Amino acid sequence: MSALPRADELGLIGCHVCGQVCSLGSEDAEALACPRCGSAMHRRKPAVYARCWALLIAAFLMYIPANVLPIMRTASLGDIDDNTILSGVVELWVKGSPGLAVIVFCASIMVPMLKFLALGTLLISCQRGSNWARRQRAQLYRLVELIGYWSMLDVFVVALLTALVRFGYFSLVEPLPGVVFFGLTVVLTMFASMCFDPRLIWDGKEDSDD
């Protein structure tokens, strides 16, 4: 037993909703419910790895068409322009809005990629029970949780422009399938990070420097 005991080690389990603490016997394999509020109780989130991996893989699969397919069509006086995320960034950069290009690049390309990397790292390290840089990993998870929904920026831009720019022949913005896949990617990564249980980071062998 380490210096700082874990609830698990003390045979206790707490309800996430009402805070009821129960003693845990040998019912580990069973599905538990809080005796006070009736919400599901579990030592760690169930099937974390399966869910996380499944959602993460699905998100990654969606991310490919999201980048390959065009997300938005701008038609102006018959000049039809289909843009993928990357081509939009390039166009912004070329046409003299590097700041905007950086923002869109961060929100639409860097953040999803970072999320894939971060969640992947967390999942792999937790599955291996690694005790490497636990605090930093916990911080990383909080960061992923925080910035997750900012990736929806692109989707919002397309949705807003589609609704606002409707001047028939003169100017028209239409969403294209790419944006759907991109939205799905963002949603799935958010689900994946929600499914992850950061307590897993702290499971495993105790480290000397901890």
Partner 1 sequence: MTDKQADNLPRPVLRKRRNSAWLIWLVPVLAAIVGISLVVNAWLQAGPGITISFQTAQGLAEGKTPVKYKDVVIGMVSKIRLSADRSHVLVKVNLEKSASSFATSDTRYWVVRPRIGLGGVSGVDTLFSGAYIGADTGDSQTEQYDFKGLETPPAVTHGEPGKSFTLHADDLGSLDIGSSVYFRRIQVGRVVSYQLDKDGKGVTFAVFIDSPNDRYVNSSTRFWNASGVDVSLGADGLKLNTQSLATVLAGGVAFQDPTGPHDTTPVADGTSFQLFADQTTAMAPPDGPPSYIRMRFDQSLRGLAVGAPVEFLGMNFGKVVSIRMDYDEKAHRFPFIVGAVVYPERLGQAHDKLVALAKQRGDNADLSHMVGTLVDHGLRAQARTGNLLTGQLYIAMDFLPNAPKTNYNPDARPLEIPTAPGSFDKLQEQMADIVGKLDKIPFDQIGNHLNDSLANLDATLKQVNGQTLPSLNDTLHDARKTLGAANDTFSADSPLQKNLGNSMQELQRTMRSLRVLTDYLGVHPEALLRGRQADPAPAAPKQPPAAQPNRSQP
Interface contacts to partner 1, rule CB under 8 A: 10-13, 20-25, 27, 29-36, 38, 40-41, 46-47, 50-51, 54-55, 57-59, 61-62, 64-65, 69, 76-82, 184, 188
Residue among 9 and 210 whose Cβ is closer to partner 1: 9
The Cα 70–Cα 62 span in angstroms is 14
The Cα 187–Cα 17 span in angstroms is 24
Identify whether the C-beta of residue 35 lies closer than 8 Å to the C-beta of residue 47: no
Q: How near is the Cβ of 85 to partner 1 at its closest, in Å?
A: 15
Residue among 23 and 208 whose Cβ is closer to partner 1: 23
Q: How near is the Cβ of 186 to partner 1 at its closest, in Å?
A: 13
Q: How near is the Cβ of 131 to partner 1 at its closest, in Å?
A: 26
Tokens (6 digits) for 176:
């294209």
Residue among 126 and 188 whose Cβ is closer to partner 1: 188
Residue among 130 and 199 whose Cβ is closer to partner 1: 199
Residue among 79 and 209 whose Cβ is closer to partner 1: 79
Q: How near is the Cβ of 207 to partner 1 at its closest, in Å?
A: 25
